[in-house]
Structure 1
Amino acid sequence: MTIPMILGMVMMMSFGLIDTFFVSLLGTDPLAAISFTFPVTFTVISLTIGLGIGTSATIGRLQGSKELEKSKLYATGSLTLSAMLVGVLATIGFFSITPVFSMLNASERLMPYISDYMGLWYISSVFLALPMVGNSVLRACGDTKTPSIVMASVGGLNALLDPLFIFGFGPIPAMGIKGAALATFIAWVVGAGWIIYILAVRRKLMLPRLLSFAELRTSSRDILKIGLPAAGANMLTPIAGGVMTAIVAAYGAEAVAAWGVGNRMESIANIVVLALSMTLPPFISQNFGASQIERVKHAYSLALKFVLVWQFIVFLAMWGLSDWIAQAFANEAKVSALIQLFLMIVPLGYGMQGIIVLTNSSLNAMHRPMTALILSIIRLFVFFVPISIAGSYLYGLQGLFIGNVIANVAMAGVSLVVFKKAIAQCDHSSVSSK
């Protein structure tokens, strides 16, 4: 189930990385500007991820119980709900670009670049929500191949359009950083139309009409029961990221540019973990429902062992390629040096971060979304932000990077203890029921 997801995830996550690469060719200021946008854009993306988790859990249960007509209703409701909620969040964001990014310590010099990018990005974000949630419907119905094809195709289209709109060609004028947002907008519109066609026409997994208010309210209730805590947990990450960006901004535009490139590379480095976090939960949920607790333990343990080995290999690769990656994304020597410093330190903690991510997704699969939410709060605001700030205060930017690694190690230990207790409770309940 995981292997088909990896290619699609690579292409989907490449949106930000490809934008960052081409924008980096415009200079340090545009690169710093797009780096400031990451925590804000990921806030919106996190909402759609949470809604996708709620959608997948709800649709999967209905498909399993053979309530196919109700499944279609809920699939339609999930897409409608996601478009509405993301639309509200994007509208608020659109009219608060200047105050929000001022809070993140973006300078007046960078604000025109940020406004050019985010103004169009917010408009396009509704079209992002539809393919992301629509793909969750397909995965809940046992299809991981089609979502991968959709994500890969849309990511490829974005990659083709980026240089065309950023630098111009023939009658198309060079739009700079706004061109990156336009390329993303077009790619997402295509993805939204494609996924709706697949669900409504080709696969008939949703209703080809708008829902009544009563139908929307009924379907939304079950989706939000799991989706809201999951969205809340995901949205905490960019909030903490915003705090970290504001701290990094104190070291100058070059540091923010390097931080942004590092975070984009992190998205790619964690592709396998993210793919596993989408395919492990259905397996755990099925076996949890069947009281096959030993299989749940085995799947969780096996996934964690694999992730630790895999992410250590990723760390070695990023260490070895750090100089080449830094030079590819930066023209200025200072920015290049800071990118290399990030890539030689922060990826060391990616294996532990994988434990945290898979534990949270497993807890959601075991119908413990509030436990996962609490763990996310502890991870970000008890470990990640405070330890990184302390490292920055003591040893500068290098200390901040080291603080990232220490925070992941500490939180991985907490996650393992919490999951062990949750499994023990499940074992006890299973024995008691027998």
Structure 2
Amino acid sequence: MAAADASRSLISAPVGQKLWEMTWPVIFGVATLISFNVVDTFFISLLGTDPLAAVSFTFPVTFTVVSLAIGLGIGTSAVIARKYGSDKPEEAHFDGFSALSVSALLVAALAVIGYLLMEPIFSLLQAQTRLMPLIREYMSLWFFGCVMLVTPMVGNAVLRAAGDTRTPSLIMASGGLANAIFDPILIFGWGPIPAMGIEGAALASVISWFSGVLLVFWLLSRNKLVSFTPANGLNFLAAWVKSAREVLKIGMPAAGANMLTPLAMSVMTAIVAAYGAPAVAAFGVGSRLESLASVIILALSMSLPPLISQNYGADRIDRVQQAYRTALKSVLIIQAVIYLLMLVTAHWIAMAFAEEKAVADIVKLFIYIMPLGYGLQGVIILTNSSFNAVHKPMNALWLSIVRLFILFVPLSYLGSLLADLTGLFIGGVVANLLTATIAYVWFSKELRREHG
């Protein structure tokens, strides 16, 4: 389907059918990317404990850059999709160029700062002195190439805003596949290629990002989705600044909201640590299980916003409401089925991820309770995405703050005081229930206001 036809169908095709058409390719892309990330960690672990620990110390830094890229992608999708819905394709095409250029400039600036301050940053993160050479090897290349990380992300957002979710999914999957192929070759060496160790893992990532850049630029050019010419004969610099501001107005709060999650999880880990190493290990397993169980939620959070933004731009608030409610019903039903499957297989899951009985018992306790809240968590995440899609990014940021730091962490801690780990897990589910209720009521109220 041509890009223009795909874009028009977002405001004319049956909502449920269109949402499914847009979501299933993203499910494939997200699931593939997660599986390749597991492969990446596996190959690094074969190098030994120190290289794995060194890469673990880089996660807060790399996640900061990735969060910025994700936020800019959210801003890009919301701005461009609304322009398509308002029948302003020329503005949407120039916005695509502005988004790509401003995201590259921001990430490049962040990379330069990170490179120059590498030693103090990782000292502040309590990295041991013996790990610093390994961290420097990995991050020097990572900082050099991370501009090529943000470009495919923002380019994919431009494609999704035009109604194309299949191509971005293929780009995600191909990037993960390239990384999985180059990882063992560059880390351990092959034929004339010398073993590069941890530096090879970073180079494999850069190569996969570069392939993504080439693919995204070719697709955007072929579909004529990016233009260097401002609409309506406006001055180039003034139009670029205006467009960049629109993207950043949504992108920066979205990036901030993304950064709150690992911060909250760090606090939760500290609370769980009071119950000993088996509890921490089990909580880590639970977090990985959560990411796998939430693939459909993540996919819907990428496919729903363009559908909402275009209909919002076309002033079809009835279709916005229908898309939002359809996504919520779907995620609640699907996550209920996933919970039942996890419940039935809890014993085997625990045995697969835990060698010690103490860890396995806590993993099973986690599975019995926490996935009850995954559907509710999906409601919160999709409401967050929907707020960004209707250009209310501060609502999305506040919803994240309420969920994580006013409800989830405090109620989990209170539960732990009342009933140890069982209470902690129940507290998390109750927090998700309360936040999901707030989210639904809040977004529905905003839509009623738009109708008025």
Q: TM-score, normalised by structure 1?
A: 0.82
Equivalences for 1:117-136 in 2 at 5 Å?
117-136=138-157
**C-alpha contact 2:72 2:255 (8 A) present in aligned 1:** yes
Shifted more, 23-32 versus 43-52: the winner is 23-32
Partner of residue 433, structure 2: 409
Partner of residue 182, structure 2: 161
User: Which of 295, 305, 323 is the matching residue for 1:299?
Assistant: 323
Deviations 1:291-325 (A, max 9, x none): 54444333322221211121233334445556666
Shifted more, 1-10 versus 287-296: the winner is 287-296
**C-alpha contact 1:34 1:260 (8 A) present in aligned 2:** no
1:150 paired to 2:171 = yes
Closer, same or farther: CA 184–250 of 1 in aligned 2, 3 Å? farther
Deviation at 1:82, TM superposition (A): 0.8
Counterpart AA for 2:68: L
**C-alpha contact 1:17 1:265 (8 A) present in aligned 2:** no
Partner of residue 205, structure 1: 225
Equivalences for 1:387-406 in 2 at 5 Å?
387-391=411-415, 400-406=424-430
Partner of residue 368, structure 1: 392
Closer, same or farther: CA 396–27 of 1 in aligned 2, 3 Å? farther
User: Which of 432, 443, 452 is the matching residue for 1:419?
Assistant: 443
1:268 paired to 2:292 = yes
Deviation at 1:191, TM superposition (A): 0.6
Residue-pair matches, total: 427
**C-alpha contact 2:85 2:310 (8 A) present in aligned 1:** no
Closer, same or farther: CA 348–95 of 1 in aligned 2, 3 Å? farther
Query: What is the alpha-carbon root mean square deviation over aligned residues?
Result: 3.7
Closer, same or farther: CA 347–113 of 1 in aligned 2, 3 Å? farther
Closer, same or farther: CA 112–281 of 1 in aligned 2, 3 Å? same
Partner of residue 403, structure 2: 379
**C-alpha contact 2:178 2:208 (8 A) present in aligned 1:** yes
Q: Helix, strand or coil for the counterpart of 1:206?
A: coil
Counterpart AA for 2:332: L
Shifted more, 21-30 versus 48-57: the winner is 21-30
1:349 paired to 2:369 = no
Deviations 1:14-36 (A, max 9, x none): 45333233344556665555455
Partner of residue 46, structure 1: 67
**C-alpha contact 2:77 2:305 (8 A) present in aligned 1:** no
**C-alpha contact 2:85 2:314 (8 A) present in aligned 1:** no
1:7 paired to 2:28 = yes
Counterpart AA for 1:131: P
Partner of residue 92, structure 1: 113
Deviation at 1:6, TM superposition (A): 1.5
**C-alpha contact 2:279 2:359 (8 A) present in aligned 1:** yes
Unpaired segments ≥5 residues, structure 1: 430-434
**C-alpha contact 2:86 2:313 (8 A) present in aligned 1:** no
Deviation at 1:135, TM superposition (A): 0.7
Q: Helix, strand or coil for the counterpart of 2:250?
A: helix
Closer, same or farther: CA 7–292 of 1 in aligned 2, 3 Å? same
Counterpart AA for 1:54: G
Q: Give, in whole Å, the separation in 2 of the partners of 1:393 and 1:155.
A: 42
Shifted more, 225-234 versus 76-85: the winner is 225-234
Q: Give, in whole Å, the separation in 2 of the partners of 1:332 and 1:26.
A: 24
Q: Give, in whole Å, the separation in 2 of the partners of 1:159 and 1:138.
A: 25
Q: Give, in whole Å, the separation in 2 of the partners of 1:97 and 1:317.
A: 45
Q: Give, in whole Å, the separation in 2 of the partners of 1:345 and 1:68.
A: 48
User: Which of 333, 336, 339 is the matching residue for 1:315?
Assistant: 339
Partner of residue 221, structure 1: 245
User: Which of 155, 176, 180 is the matching residue for 2:201?
Assistant: 180
Q: Give, in whole Å, the separation in 1 of the partners of 2:279 and 2:57.
A: 11
Deviations 1:226-263 (A, max 9, x none): 22222222232233334445656777887766655544
**C-alpha contact 1:21 1:329 (8 A) present in aligned 2:** no
Deviations 1:42-66 (A, max 9, x none): 3322211221122122222333455
Deviation at 1:105, TM superposition (A): 5.9
Shifted more, 19-28 versus 381-390: the winner is 19-28
**C-alpha contact 2:99 2:247 (8 A) present in aligned 1:** yes
Closer, same or farther: CA 127–217 of 1 in aligned 2, 3 Å? same
User: Which of 94, 104, 110 is the matching residue for 1:73?
Assistant: 94
Partner of residue 258, structure 2: 234
Deviations 1:363-401 (A, max 9, x none): 222332221111111112112333344456666666655
**C-alpha contact 1:24 1:330 (8 A) present in aligned 2:** no
Q: Give, in whole Å, the separation in 2 of the partners of 1:162 and 1:332.
A: 31
Q: Give, in whole Å, the separation in 1 of the partners of 2:237 and 2:442.
A: 40
Q: TM-score, normalised by structure 2?
A: 0.79
Q: Give, in whole Å, the separation in 1 of the partners of 2:357 and 2:189.
A: 27
**C-alpha contact 1:104 1:242 (8 A) present in aligned 2:** no
Closer, same or farther: CA 142–268 of 1 in aligned 2, 3 Å? same
User: Which of 162, 167, 173 is the matching residue for 1:141?
Assistant: 162
